[in-house]
Amino acid sequence: MSRQVRIVEVGPRDGLQNEKQTIDTGIKLELIERLAKAGLRDIEAASFVSPKWVPQMADHAAIMAGLPSRETYPDVNYPVLTPNMKGFEAAAAAGAKEVAVFAAASESFSQKNINCSIAESIERFVPVFEAARQQGIRVRGYISCVVACPYEGAVSPEKVAEVAARLLELGSYEISLGDTIGAGTPASVLRMLEAVARKVPVQQLAGHYHDTYGMAVANAYASYQFGLRSFDSSVAGLGGCPYAKGATGNVATEDLVYLFNGLGVETGIDLDALVECSAWISGVLQRAPGSRVSRALLAKSGQGGVCA
């Protein structure tokens, strides 16, 4: 078994889209560059959703135009979210080489989040997959609420497996399984993974765990033991979910890197540089990093600064 994992940084998108204050394009681009410098090779850069839905992501084209130079960081991918053909066309025109589509495993969440049923949302992606195939653009599929939904409670593992199988069939190279409200535990996450892995090869699954109940690192570890080798996270634990009161951000990238360093599993990420990036963006947002690892390492180096 490989002793390597891929970490997909979602802070600039999944993280910042939940910030109430508008964040300057320059700050977002600096965040992306600092992440690339720390060794992240997959950095979700923007979302090509309508600015009416997510005003924070209205600068998507400017972000794509201002990404770090290919010469300095030749091997970094910058996936972007595309909800439909219109978003896909704009993303492709802006030079995206990888896009992500998103569906939910819960009907109520699908209605609230994207205003349509799960089946309708997947129908909308059919032309996106087709166009992506023609243009050589990779597609990643996201599924939200894979363990629980803020409206329906527990979500059936079979439902997640069904949505995952459909996204695979349409041409997703990987399916990212989102515990959007962070309610999962290793037991419920493993029940879900067992059902999904019957339909989708484990090498094509990624864990996307939010840390609301402090279980995200445990869930990532359980998923690693199960065979997953790809995980989403956000620097400083940025993020949340506007539809689930009290939901916190994604598992912090620093916390995953610390976990995998301890296991002797290669991530390619420089933890010190990442902690520095975490301290910087947390300073911009005027709060302490949402990462226990960053807070511990910053305190140790005397850079605690803000005691929040």
130 by DSSP, 3-state: which? helix
Number of residue whose CB is nearest Zn ion:
14
> Which of 267, 180, 177, 262 is CA-nearest to residue 226?
177
**Contact string (CB under 5 A) for Zn ion, positions 2-21, x = contact:** ------------x-------
Considering the complex, state which of residue 68 and residue 240 has its C-beta at the smaller distance from Zn ion: 240
The whole-angstrom separation of Cα 226 and Cα 220 is 10
Q: What is the nearest approach in angstroms of Zn ion to the Cβ of residue 179? A: 8
Q: What is the nearest approach in angstroms of Zn ion to the Cβ of residue 135? A: 27
**Binders of Zn ion: how many residues, by CB under 5 A?**
1
Pairing of strands 148-149, 153-154: antiparallel
Residues 204-243 that bind Zn ion (CB under 5 A): none
Q: What is the nearest approach in angstroms of Zn ion to the Cβ of residue 232? A: 7
* Known catalytic membership, residue 145: no
C-alpha dihedral, 103 to 78 to 180 to 291, nearest 10°: 180
Q: What is the nearest approach in angstroms of Zn ion to the Cβ of residue 14? A: 4
> Which of 25, 45, 59, 63 is CA-nearest to residue 234?
45
Considering the complex, state which of residue 181 and residue 257 has its C-beta at the smaller distance from Zn ion: 181
Residues 10-69 that bind Zn ion (CB under 5 A): 14
Name the one residue in this structure whose structure tokens are 């009907």: 107
**Residue among 116, 145, 149, 241 flagged as catalytic:** 241
Could you please report the per-residue DSSP string of 10-33? -IIIIIGGG-SS---HHHHHHHHH
The whole-angstrom separation of Cα 250 and Cα 62 is 25
Amino acid identity for residue 171 in this structure: G
DSSP 8-state assignment for residue 287 = S
Max intra-chain CA distance, the chain:
53
C-alpha dihedral, 199 to 165 to 245 to 31, nearest 10°: 100
Q: What is the nearest approach in angstroms of Zn ion to the Cβ of residue 17? A: 10
Could you please report the per-residue DSSP string of 53-116? T-GGGTTHHHHHHTPPPTTTSTT-B--EE--SHHHHHHHHHTT-SEEEEEEESSHHHHHHHHSS
Considering the complex, state which of residue 92 and residue 206 has its C-beta at the smaller distance from Zn ion: 206
Considering the complex, state which of residue 68 and residue 79 has its C-beta at the smaller distance from Zn ion: 79
Considering the complex, state which of residue 14 and residue 98 has its C-beta at the smaller distance from Zn ion: 14
Q: What is the nearest approach in angstroms of Zn ion to the Cβ of residue 241? A: 7
The whole-angstrom separation of Cα 98 and Cα 43 is 11
How remote is the C-alpha of 57 from its chain's centroid? 15
Considering the complex, state which of residue 92 and residue 216 has its C-beta at the smaller distance from Zn ion: 216
Which parts of this chain interact with Zn ion (CB under 5 A)? 14
Q: Which are the catalytic amino acids?
A: 241
